[in-house]
Amino acid sequence: MKPSLKRRLWHQITGMLVPAWLVLGIVSVVLYRGSSFGPWLMVHLLLLGALTTAILVWSQHFADSLLKNTAPGGRYWLGVRLTVHTVGAAMVMIGMTGAWWYAVLAGGILVGINALVHATILVQQLRGALPARFSPLVRYYIAAAGCLVVGVTLGILMAHPGSTTAGDATAAADSYERLYIAHIGLNLLGWVGLTVIGTVALLLPTVLHSRVLSTTTAAARPTLPILLAGLVVLGSGSYADSRIITAAGVVIYLVGFARVLRELVEHVRRSPAVSYAGWSITAALAWFALCAVGFSAVVVTAASWSDAAAGLEALVPYFAVGFGGQIMIGALSFLIPVVLGGGPRASKATARELDRAGLFRVAVVNGALVLTLLPLSDLVTDVLGAVILATLAFFIVLMVRALRINRKNRTPPGSGLPPLAHDVAAVPAPPPRSRLSMVVAAAAALALTLAIGVALDPSGVSLASGSGSKATGHTTTVDVTMADTRFSPDTIDVPVGDTLVITLTNTDGMLHDLVFNSGVESGSVEPKATTTVEVGVIDADLDGWCSIGGHRLLGMLLTVNAVGAESADSDDSSQLRHGAMGSDPSEGTLAADDIDVMAEPGSDFVARDARLAPTAPVTVHTSTMTVRNTETEVAPGVTQMLWTYNGTAPGPVLRGRVNDVFEITFVNEGTIGHSLDFHAGSLAPDKPMQTIDPGEELTYRFTATRSGVWLYHCSTMPMSVHLANGMFGAVIIDPPGMSVVDQEYVLIQSEFYLGHQGEEGDAIKVATQRPDLLTFNGYANQYVTAPLTATVGETVRIWVLDAGPNESSSFHVVGGQFDTVFSEGEYLLRDGGSTGTGGAQALAMMPAQGGFVELTFDEAGTYPFVSHVMSDAEKGARGLFLVTG
């Protein structure tokens, strides 16, 4: 096989990796449309898959050419590196799709190691090369690879379910958002941005057939330190919890980019683009500059890290498609004819095919991107997105056709040397009339796209809430107050077509605001202040909420009902962050939407009795446990169809002594197979723990040989779903010599992953570990409504079990101190310990662990008890002790 043929086959084989990733991106859009996970997958298939693959191939190609020094191992080892990256990136995608974090971890490590190897090889090449005019540009590729290593590491941390959930809820949320902002900055501005800046300094003049300026190297050499300084400052600001520093880092980066951009603009001015490659690369650079400016503006003007992350999230599609997609396809459209070669005839024919309808394609993509910036409905935006996707995907068709055309028009190689870029004849510039016709055709295509979108959603071009309705000329003015994390009134009825004006007064002692899903915002309202919110003409129902940290979760919601309007559904914007591993249910009434942790239960509510019955004076304990599907209220106004033992979740509490025998008749009256697993027994699980079908029963007999508080649960797979849907309980085996106390209570912490109202839980939420409620004894905050009682001077023992299935617990009584702590079969502290004055503040438990604590209340009062994983306490894992004198 001749060298030129080897070279051509190499580029044909590696060149198909990029289209393969693009095809997977198209498939993901179809399969995950409407899912909150879909945009994340699409963006990562484009950036981590297609664009990163192209960077690995072509940065190595350019380094070889600029340094005139082939990389160690040549194409073979580059092929190995591409394989490693492809496997790693695929593992990340699969791991995120299936919520398998260890797959994400392994894939991320492969991608990061591959980037390190890439950088190391480039360093070796640079050191071994003779001085060359443009060799400093290779340093951009080395620095970019370093950014990818750090960016991937941040992504792995973000994807880990427990990396940002511990401690204070607001701090945990901020931690995630800061990781997200640094992740985006280092990957888009660092890995992609540095690579592109180091490449276009030479590539764009070549595409435009413009002479490279003598100042290019001089501009590039000091520019890289400025860009890197900006990225370091950006990352430092995120780490130091300073949005100002983070934004300053982006500004420093923009200063460096402006040095290169100024020369590129001069090239465009002297030699305007006449091909698809030139138009596409120029448009991509414009989007990159605009998005980088937007990055800085969003971070510096945001009121919180959460707001900054939300604003940046809105920019990511423009970074990915406007910049990443266009720079990649534009560059490939120019480079493919160069590397395939085959003589002037083949090169011209290949280039001509890749340039087909070039101006039309660029105008459609960029025009549609601009239109998506307008406040259009989701459906119209989806139609525009489909047009953008189809137009970019047309490159795949042209690439396949170009490869066939190249084969047909090749001339036998003479010396076997590939033609240089400047030897490939430029694609003839389309005449002005042809260019005008393509622009007109693009405008017509966009107008038709909008017409289709409006036909599917007639209100889709409303520029404000309700602007699609005929205004009545009447203004409805409503006074709304904010206090105690509530809007009053929280529902406003407005005749369709009326203009709504809200006089908003904050009578509370804390900061609040009002945000509508139409985009209208009040801005922050200080305590005791009043502001006016002009909502606009109302033609559809609106949802409003307070966006201050956590207030929306606490039920600070406002609804505007458009009286006389047709009902319409509204959707929350898609999320691209790593935290969205999976998707929420998309149809029906979601129980999670009705959570109000500050609400009071109905008048007929009866809290589960937490008092622990004394140990029965028998040595054989017999009971029947029957599985029933029971619709159960788990929070005020929130019901789920639970799978229960004896009709309750948790199931009945069993109690005995060491060496007592428990004989359980297990009956399945449910609708699917279930089982029992008693941790209090030590025996082979094959028979007693087997799954039995509806209508069947079995006998489960075990001897309790060890003391402690033991979990029992259904072990039928998926075990996490069965446990999360109510199939758990506790067995308490008294340790010998246990002290006599005045009061005993038992609290079992568990999680709910809510599905639709009155239906079973959401298995995807369980798998991705995103609980909606944390409860003691199966109902959120029930012991706030019905406090547990004690008397001053009494010794109170509290047995606590973490049933899981996923969340840990740290049981704490506010205002109390434990003088005795028994955990997992052992006293950690008893009667103040060896000093007699020792105390404990919390009982720490992982899922399926438990114990008890003892304390004495010295004063009358109300003592809260919580899981000190505070975000869990705020989701319902809290209660009160009411202590009387």
For residue 266, give every residue at least 6 positions away whose Cβ sits within 8 Å of its Cβ, in sequence order, or none: 213
Distance CA 641, CA 630 (A): 6
> What's the confidence (pLDDT) of residue 800?
98
Tokens of 108: 């991320």
> What's the confidence (pLDDT) of residue 17?
84
Give strand pairing partners of 162. none
- Residue 838's nearest CA partner among 854, 860, 862 is 854
- Residue 126's nearest CA partner among 184, 174, 49, 198 is 198
For residue 386, give every residue at least 6 positions away whose Cβ sits within 8 Å of its Cβ, in sequence order, or none: none
Distance CA 768, CA 488 (A): 36
Per-10-residue mean pLDDT for the chain, 885 residues long? Answer: 50 75 84 67 89 89 81 82 92 84 90 93 83 78 94 87 46 72 93 92 86 58 88 93 92 92 88 90 94 92 81 88 92 85 80 88 93 81 87 90 84 50 50 75 87 69 46 84 88 90 87 86 87 89 78 76 65 39 45 84 93 95 96 95 96 97 96 92 93 92 97 91 95 96 97 92 86 96 96 97 95 97 96 92 96 97 95 94 95
The identity of residue 742, as a single letter, is D
Beta carbons of 747 and 705 less than 8 angstroms apart: no
Beta carbons of 181 and 237 less than 8 angstroms apart: no
Q: Which residue ranges make up the annotated binding site for Cu cation?
A: 674, 679, 713-714, 722, 727, 868
Distance CA 141, CA 33 (A): 35
Distance CA 885, CA 883 (A): 7
Tokens of 135: 């060799």
**Location of structure tokens 């006293």:** 827
Number of H helices, E strands in the chain: 22, 27
Chain centroid, CA 66 distance in Å: 40
Kindly list the structural domains of the chain, giving each domain's residue range(s) and its CATH number in brackets, ordered by start.
Answer: 3-342 (1.20.210.10), 475-573 (2.60.40.420), 620-884 (2.60.40.420)
> What's the confidence (pLDDT) of residue 12?
61
User: What is the C-alpha end-to-end distance of the chain, expressed in Å?
Assistant: 96
- Supply the DSSP symbol for 489: S
**Location of structure tokens 């071009």:** 461
Distance CA 595, CA 592 (A): 5
- Supply the DSSP symbol for 790: E
Distances (CA, A) of 469 to 456, 464, 642: 17, 10, 45
- Supply the DSSP symbol for 341: -
Distance CA 879, CA 392 (A): 56
| Residue 512 φ/ψ, nearest 5 degrees | -140, 170
Give strand pairing partners of 855. 796
Beta carbons of 542 and 478 less than 8 angstroms apart: no
Q: Which residue ranges make up the annotated binding site?
A: 674, 679, 713-714, 722, 727, 868
- Supply the DSSP symbol for 589: -
> What's the confidence (pLDDT) of residue 885?
87
> What's the confidence (pLDDT) of residue 34?
54
> What's the confidence (pLDDT) of residue 581?
34
- Name the helix (H) or strand (E) containing 512: none
Radius of gyration of the CA atoms of the chain, in A:
32
Q: What is the pTM of this model?
A: 0.54
Beta carbons of 45 and 21 less than 8 angstroms apart: yes
Other Cβ atoms within 10 Å of 623 Cβ, number: 12
> What's the confidence (pLDDT) of residue 465?
41
For residue 104, give every residue at least 6 positions away whose Cβ sits within 8 Å of its Cβ, in sequence order, or none: 91, 92, 95, 96, 156, 159
Across 709-729, b (16+ Cβ under 10 Å) vs e yields: bbbbbbbbeebbbbbbbbbbb
Beta carbons of 356 and 391 less than 8 angstroms apart: no
> What's the confidence (pLDDT) of residue 9?
60
For residue 304, give every residue at least 6 positions away whose Cβ sits within 8 Å of its Cβ, in sequence order, or none: 174, 549
